[in-house]
Amino acid sequence: MSFSLSGALKSLTCAAALSCCAISFAQADTLRVGTEATFAPFEFAAEDGSLTGFDVEIMQAIGKEIGYDVEIVNMPFDGLIPAIMTAQLDAIIAAMSITPERAKRVAFSDPYYTSGLSVLIREETAAKYPKVDSLKGQPLCVQIGTTGAMTAEKLSPGKVKAFNTEPEAFMELKARGCEGVVNDRPINLYFLAQSNASEGITELPEILTAEQYGIATHLHNKELQAKINEGLAKIRANGTYDKIYQKWFKLAPTDKE
Ligand code: GLN
């Protein structure tokens, strides 16, 4: 085997370049966007199995404005941020709340939806739990890795059952495996209004937090973060955001920052 000094030097330079300079981001035409598709009406599987919802349509509309195709990739919620950090995904749209802890690991777009947490209980326990505080110390169900999980842990330390998906948490509440589900309010309301499985379930009349959803990208991919913000601003200005909002929430778009 012949040895080429210049070749060896080149590989060394390449290796040095790779180790010194963070991940380089592919300039593909398709954005790989991660979500966790059991979170209706933001992301869920339609009857034909295709992924749909407010987030899916917002991301596709943004992609169109900034010249990218969008491929939605379904994965567990707690796998989304690690997948951005290792550049397996370009972005996340998953009703993901912007939090200071997450903002250390990923970059967020401008907020695109204002949300908050509420608590579901079984109607049969309504007299026992008139408000959220009365649930303190009771077993609570949540989706793993969510702001709902963090809030539930404060209410009932060590007594929180975390599930991979929100529907599993709802089912456990129905099956009397816990006394409340702490979750994003728009998803709770959609479940109460749209699902037969919500019979016997009711919402406590308190909103626990003010949260804003953002689209996450790699901390160092400033270019993509800026493009997504540009696309978001455009769909807000040209009425596309409002159309999508009306379709999924059938309300005037008042809480859409
Ligand atoms: N908004 C919540 C969070 O960011 C829940 C998101 C979700 O379950 N998709 O933690």
Q: Where does 98-165 have alpha helices with state H?
A: 147-155
Nearest CA to ligand 1 atom 10: 146
CB 173 within 8 Å of CB 120: yes
Q: Which atom of ligand 1 is nearest to the CA of 36?
A: 9
| Residue of 77, 185, 190 to mutate, ligand 1, most atoms within 8 A of C-beta | 77
CB neighbour class for 5 (10 Å; exposed up to 12, middle 13-18, buried from 19)? exposed
| Residue of 147, 150, 189, 190 to mutate, ligand 1, most atoms within 8 A of C-beta | 147
Q: Which atom of ligand 1 is nearest to the CA of 102?
A: 4
What was the pLDDT predicted at 195? 86
3-class SS letters over 152-189: HHHHCCCCEEEECCHHHHHHHHHCCCCCEEEEEHHHHH
Q: Which atom of ligand 1 is nearest to the CA of 99?
A: 4
Instruction: Tell me if 35 CB under 6 Å of ligand 1.
Output: no
CB neighbour class for 99 (10 Å; exposed up to 12, middle 13-18, buried from 19)? middle
Half-sphere exposure of 256 (CA within 13 A, CB side): 23
Kindly state the tokens that stand for 229.
């913000």
Nearest CA to ligand 1 atom 5: 146
The domains found in the chain, sorted by start residue, are 26-112+214-249 (3.40.190.10), 116-210 (3.40.190.10)
Distance 18 CA to ligand 1 centre (A): 34
Taking Cα atoms as reference points, which of 88, 97, 102, 81 lies closest to residue 31? 88
Instruction: Tell me if 96 CB under 6 Å of ligand 1.
Output: yes
Length of the chain: 257
Cα 224 to its chain centre, rounded Å, is 18
Query: First-to-last CA distance in the chain?
Result: 63
Instruction: Tell me if 143 CB under 6 Å of ligand 1.
Output: yes
| Cα–Cα dist 92/55, whole Å | 10
Instruction: Tell me if 108 CB under 6 Å of ligand 1.
Output: no
What was the pLDDT predicted at 20? 42
Is 82 strand, coil or helix? helix
Instruction: Tell me if 95 CB under 6 Å of ligand 1.
Output: yes
Distance 129 CA to ligand 1 centre (A): 24
What was the pLDDT predicted at 71? 96
What was the pLDDT predicted at 11? 43
Instruction: Tell me if 221 CB under 6 Å of ligand 1.
Output: no
What was the pLDDT predicted at 150? 97
* Prediction pTM value: 0.87
Instruction: Tell me if 56 CB under 6 Å of ligand 1.
Output: no
Contacts (Cβ under 8 Å, ≥6 apart) of 16: none
Q: Which atom of ligand 1 is nearest to the CA of 35?
A: 9
Q: Could you read off the pLDDT tens digit of each residue along the chain, which spans 257 residues? A: 334 444 444 444 444 444 444 556 656 799 999 999 999 999 999 999 999 999 999 999 999 999 999 999 999 999 999 999 999 999 999 999 999 999 999 999 999 999 999 999 999 999 999 999 999 999 999 999 999 999 999 999 999 999 999 999 999 999 999 999 999 999 999 999 988 899 999 999 999 999 999 999 999 999 999 999 999 999 999 999 999 999 999 854 444 43
| Cα–Cα dist 210/244, whole Å | 22
